Structure 1
């Protein structure tokens, strides 16, 4: 047989075999792909681990209250303000001083040694003092105060401010401002703590809802997987076309994507929650899905009269303290308009026999003096007084606006909290009806009265309704937490102790 004819004969024999073998290989590949798909999908559809030790909201609030870095930073500012108060108290510390003067050469050979103890007065601009001096030798007339008796001289005296610095001076002003700064820092700490607790509540509930969203999508995926097993049996019996398996595989892939996306959101929510859930050393702890509680915590209770808590807002108290500080400064500015009139009284007790100076330097000696100084133009005082008066007016206007803003915020949050309850009720009704429709459509499909497209549509609509119900529950919880923060409801936020 010629060679071309032999080739044609072999081709005629082999081509049908190749044509038969190719679909078999494709079918085998599709079958393996389907098995892998179903294995991955069933793994994705596995329920979340059992919650043997659910992480409670009060646990998170306790750790965020004591270990959140923002709170610790605010506490550090409070300690710094308290340290500044101690610094200003140093202006009233008792002062000890000592001196010694000796003339080894020259016409006068006097030598004297003395010590003094000064105690500033906390309720007056003056001070009290006491001391001891002893001298030997001779002194010029302009240093006659250096002469003492043989055994020395004991001195006690006081200085009182009668006009300027009587009620307030720089020392007491600094102490008052520093004490007010402690109140400012503490209210700032409270504002930070309120914000942290409100965000912790939102983070915990967002994590729980993310876990419930995963459960919804895993349930949706499980429906498709269970249906796939039935389709395989029906296709093998010739009751349904094979293309139905491919169509359901498409649904499995789509639902598996939803599961993966929801699991990603759950992991991200856990990371955000770890910013508030910390160990005793302040290190973040990322909770695993095994710590998910079975249900959400109830929303925080609403205050009966939200506006009654307006004055407890720490930001309003901050402005009030600023106004009080400015008024203290105003008193200091007015103090500078007063003339300085100081009264000085001193008693000296000479001890022992007369010294070199004279016999007059013995026994008891008392002195009383008055010093007066009057500033004439007062331009510095007038300028400071005008500036402080303008500051007070500015703080008062700021408080007025802040109070109006807080009222509007509370009203808006009250409306949001009230409407969130209505929206949640609507979402629950929608979810119930969507689940009812999905169950009914599945029964109709099993009875042959519905089609595959419609039953998938009902199931996915039911899943969407469940997710919307979760979102509505989250919005209600956040609205209640925001309102508790706006009204400074410390017990609700875990800050009552």
Structure 2
């Protein structure tokens, strides 16, 4: 698979963790060959034989692999303390996950969603009702009070219990307020018969709030994916800036090493004074470029500090020298198209998970709207018993009371329910259309990211070959120049050195493009760019799995 090739997997014993996803700080050999010019002119016998390649190393050395990552736990290491070690890509990714403010902002959504669930659950709280009334100056002097507890249930009805006591003489139309001396205890419930059996306003709000919690997790995951990707790009830009600075300094050193050589040749009458001036011009120009390259390193470090943070969340400028870091060596990629990548992207992308959660919320809202279309018919039962001495000789308050009720309410036109059903169906149609487009967009983004990754890999190979050819040309030109060949001048030598520097810079640019394309490919697959080494095993496990469908329209 493409990711297997990009991960640089070699044998089963070596595991799937790729050096392409890591950068270790090995000792860095020079990109350009440092030349030590002799104080006396070179003789033909001192020149290397034709076809002999100079003792050189490649611009990019293989990076030392990191220990395998088994998953972060509560005891996982924090971001590196200030000034203790040169950061690696995993340090940046870990710091982003733990301390990046935009992720902290997204994580705060969990608190909001939890509060929404708690608020919706409050509809099922026990409600305490207390009523007291005194009428001391009137033809009917009385005192009465009532205490009750009521609770809406998850099955759509309600339960209640209460205690009532009344003293004095009550109006004939308020005789229900009168009780025996010990008061009246009551108990009852109501239950839906037609509407509100499977869903009602309270349960709909609670279920939608619970789905919102899963939607927030998708939003958090999306923020983590993009933030880690941006942190990885900032890291590789810092590494690239360090490599370009190393190139600028080494090409500057070539000019500096020629000063004593030209001075000695001028003393022997074998060099022109103009060559010294021209070499000095070359040094000034290259020193200016080295200054500009150092500026870019400092700017890249400042940008990286946004993602590399201290345990208390403050930006941490990267420690160490960026010139000591190198890009990891990459393996040739397999350009073959694999459906497994698209299936993995569809199952992982948080945008589709977000849309699926929205569809579930709208499905709950549609059920609620359909429930509102039904008649509101409830059945209830009420029991009560007075205790204590009777308040009248009729003993009309002493008997056990049992009441059964049946209530129904329904708007004849039902326009409110019909309007809600129409609105929710329209919103569902919007979400379903967006989900279909998002799934197509995910497949397209995987293809685009794959093409960019393959092209970047091929560019690295071509620029590596170009760098080697430029080295050979420079070595040949230097040999002719040291022999005093009339066809080789300082101008032509400078051109060859500049070509080598440009070839090295082009390779650095290609390597940076590859790492950025790799991070973009992780985003396309819905993966954390800091954990790309885990992709191979996932792809192999899912290679034969069916494609995960996007959210589908519900039957109306």
**Alignment partner, residue 149 of structure 1:** 180
* Map 1:50-65 → 2, pairs under 5 A: 53-65=85-97
Is 1:488–2:526 an aligned residue pair?
Answer: yes
**Alignment partner, residue 103 of structure 1:** 135
Is 1:122–2:179 an aligned residue pair?
Answer: no
Q: Do the aligned residues in 2 keep the contact of 1:194 with 1:493 (CA within 8 Å)?
A: no
Cα deviation, residue 267, structure 1: 0.7
For 2:421 and 2:185, the matched residues in 1 are separated by 44
Q: Measured at CA, do residues 144 and 393 of structure 1 come closer, stay the same or move farther in structure 2, by a change above 3 Å?
A: same
For 2:271 and 2:514, the matched residues in 1 are separated by 47
SS at match of 1:166: coil
Q: Do the aligned residues in 2 keep the contact of 1:54 with 1:292 (CA within 8 Å)?
A: no
Residue number among 234, 245, 253 corresponding to 1:214 in the alignment:
245
Cα deviation, residue 494, structure 1: 7.8
Cα deviation, residue 52, structure 1: 8.1
SS at match of 1:336: helix
For 1:365 and 1:219, the matched residues in 2 are separated by 102
Q: Do the aligned residues in 2 keep the contact of 1:343 with 1:370 (CA within 8 Å)?
A: yes
> Once structures 1 and 2 are overlaid, which stretch shifts more, 241-250 or 85-94?
85-94
SS at match of 1:119: strand
For 2:367 and 2:323, the matched residues in 1 are separated by 59
**Alignment partner, residue 516 of structure 2:** 478
> Once structures 1 and 2 are overlaid, which stretch shifts more, 447-456 or 287-296?
287-296
Residue number among 383, 387, 392 corresponding to 1:347 in the alignment:
383
Cα deviation, residue 358, structure 1: 3.7
Cα deviation, residue 391, structure 1: 1.1
Q: Do the aligned residues in 2 keep the contact of 1:299 with 1:476 (CA within 8 Å)?
A: no
Residue number among 372, 376, 392 corresponding to 2:412 in the alignment:
376
Is 1:454–2:492 an aligned residue pair?
Answer: yes
Q: Do the aligned residues in 1 keep the contact of 2:186 with 2:382 (CA within 8 Å)?
A: yes
Q: Do the aligned residues in 2 keep the contact of 1:52 with 1:290 (CA within 8 Å)?
A: no
Q: Do the aligned residues in 2 keep the contact of 1:298 with 1:477 (CA within 8 Å)?
A: no
Is 1:441–2:473 an aligned residue pair?
Answer: no
Q: Measured at CA, do residues 210 and 291 of structure 1 come closer, stay the same or move farther in structure 2, by a change above 3 Å?
A: closer
Cα deviation, residue 363, structure 1: 4.3
* TM-score normalized by the length of structure 1: 0.85
For 2:126 and 2:475, the matched residues in 1 are separated by 87
**Alignment partner, residue 186 of structure 1:** 217
> Deviation string for 1:114-139 (max 9, x for gaps)?
20011110231x21111111222222
Residue number among 80, 92, 98 corresponding to 1:66 in the alignment:
98
Residue number among 160, 166, 169 corresponding to 1:135 in the alignment:
166
SS at match of 1:280: coil
Cα deviation, residue 440, structure 1: 2.0
> Deviation string for 1:444-497 (max 9, x for gaps)?
21111222111111111011111111111111111111111111124854899x
For 2:108 and 2:330, the matched residues in 1 are separated by 32
> Once structures 1 and 2 are overlaid, which stretch shifts more, 177-186 or 376-385?
177-186
For 2:87 and 2:464, the matched residues in 1 are separated by 26
For 1:186 and 1:116, the matched residues in 2 are separated by 41
Cα deviation, residue 166, structure 1: 2.2
> Deviation string for 1:186-235 (max 9, x for gaps)?
21111111000011111101101110110111110001000111101111
Cα deviation, residue 291, structure 1: 6.0
Q: Do the aligned residues in 2 keep the contact of 1:57 with 1:204 (CA within 8 Å)?
A: yes
| Uncovered stretches (5+) of structure 2, i.e. residues with no partner | 1-82, 535-556
Q: Do the aligned residues in 2 keep the contact of 1:134 with 1:149 (CA within 8 Å)?
A: yes
Q: Do the aligned residues in 1 keep the contact of 2:195 with 2:372 (CA within 8 Å)?
A: yes
> Once structures 1 and 2 are overlaid, which stretch shifts more, 290-299 or 92-101?
290-299
Two-structure CA RMSD over aligned residues (Å): 2.2
**Alignment partner, residue 13 of structure 2:** none
Q: Do the aligned residues in 1 keep the contact of 2:243 with 2:323 (CA within 8 Å)?
A: no
> Once structures 1 and 2 are overlaid, which stretch shifts more, 209-218 or 345-354?
345-354
SS at match of 1:325: helix
For 1:165 and 1:299, the matched residues in 2 are separated by 62
Q: Do the aligned residues in 1 keep the contact of 2:244 with 2:508 (CA within 8 Å)?
A: yes
Q: Do the aligned residues in 2 keep the contact of 1:81 with 1:185 (CA within 8 Å)?
A: yes
For 1:189 and 1:295, the matched residues in 2 are separated by 32
For 2:210 and 2:255, the matched residues in 1 are separated by 68
Larger-gyration structure (1/2): 1
Is 1:232–2:232 an aligned residue pair?
Answer: no
For 1:242 and 1:414, the matched residues in 2 are separated by 56
Q: Do the aligned residues in 2 keep the contact of 1:100 with 1:112 (CA within 8 Å)?
A: yes
**Alignment partner, residue 424 of structure 1:** 460
Cα deviation, residue 289, structure 1: 4.7
Q: Which has the higher helix share?
A: 1
**Alignment partner, residue 286 of structure 1:** 317
